[in-house]
Amino acid sequence: GLSRQACLARYGSLVVGALINKVIIEQACELHDIAVTTADVDNEINEMSRRFNVPRDKWIALIQRERGVTEKQYREDIVWPMIALRRLAKGSLEPTDEQLKKQFQNQYGPTVKARIIVLRTQKDAEETRTDVLHAPDSFGLVAREKSVDVGSASVGGWVQPIRHFSGSPEFESAAFALSVGGISEVVKVADQFIIIKCEGHLPASEVKFSDVRPRLAEVFREKQSRVLSSKIFGELQAKATIENTLNNTEKGPSSSNLAARVNGRPITIGEVRAVCVERY
């Protein structure tokens, strides 16, 4: 294999980056009295393998293959920071009833079966709307020819059933207001102009909010923690004072055994080399 020095030269900058990130998160954890133990990491891995219905060893083998990381790397660079950031984000993770009711409406509420035609200008959209009002049965054909939304155009304007709280409120209320066969006014969403034709209404599912509330809350927390974790990590990174001497060739290896400093805490070249050798 590579000599220790060659290994450091080749992978050092990659490894020092990962170590800097890890120290940033460790320092935040110390500040907030958060400890993430080996057992926590094990539980998280078991939980993930369970969620994907794969035995634990198969899950780890899969991660090693997909991401090209060793088990130790997976534990230390991926799972550990993920749990730590999630705990740092914890405060703002509890969903309100209102948030969950929206989610419930979105997943289990009524939907509208519809086709759409999407155009680039208000003028095109108004003209096209006049055409399809005169000949409602041509809607699918016109969608194929004129709609700039490639996915729906190719299937005659059909879209996934429209749900509450999934995107633009204007678009949704226009869709839900239509009776079967009805064609909407032109609805502007971002920089697109949309005409909707209602092809049917599907009733809400027979599911009770109280039955699915725990599941909805779990999904909400999961999604929220991903968003917040990257936000929190971004903030920590922005606040940190980082000197990366290993990647800074002018300063070069002359500064003895120092690879980097994070908020004054040193990371030594020895540490970086050890990780390089162990991994590569």
Mean pLDDT of successive 10-residue segments in the chain (280 residues)? 79 85 92 93 92 91 89 90 86 81 96 98 98 97 97 97 95 98 97 97 96 90 80 88 75 67 89 82
* Alpha carbons 16 and 106: distance in angstroms, whole number: 44
Q: What is the per-residue pLDDT for 248?
A: 65
Q: What is the per-residue pLDDT for 233?
A: 87
Q: What is the per-residue pLDDT for 77?
A: 87
Which residues neighbour 261 within 8 Å (Cβ) at sequence distance 6 or greater? 241, 242, 243, 245, 267
Q: What is the per-residue pLDDT for 227?
A: 80
What Å distances lie between residue 130 and 28, 139, 145, 186, CA to CA? 60, 11, 16, 10
Which residues neighbour 45 within 8 Å (Cβ) at sequence distance 6 or greater? 56, 59, 60, 75, 79
Q: What is the pTM of this model?
A: 0.59
Q: What is the per-residue pLDDT for 103?
A: 94
Q: In this structure, what token pair is assigned to residue 243?
A: 């000197």
Q: What is the per-residue pLDDT for 52?
A: 86
* Alpha carbons 273 and 9: distance in angstroms, whole number: 9
**What is the identity of the amino acid at 162?**
I
- Show the CA angle centred on residue 254, arms to residues 253 and 256, nearest 5°: 80
- Please return the burial class of 32, using the count of CB atoms within 10 Å of its CB with bins 0-12, 13-18 and 19+: exposed
Q: What is the per-residue pLDDT for 95?
A: 87
Alpha-helix runs per DSSP H in 80-194: 80-89, 97-108, 122-134, 139-146, 150-153, 169-177
Q: What is the per-residue pLDDT for 273?
A: 86
Q: What is the per-residue pLDDT for 272?
A: 87
Q: What is the per-residue pLDDT for 91?
A: 58
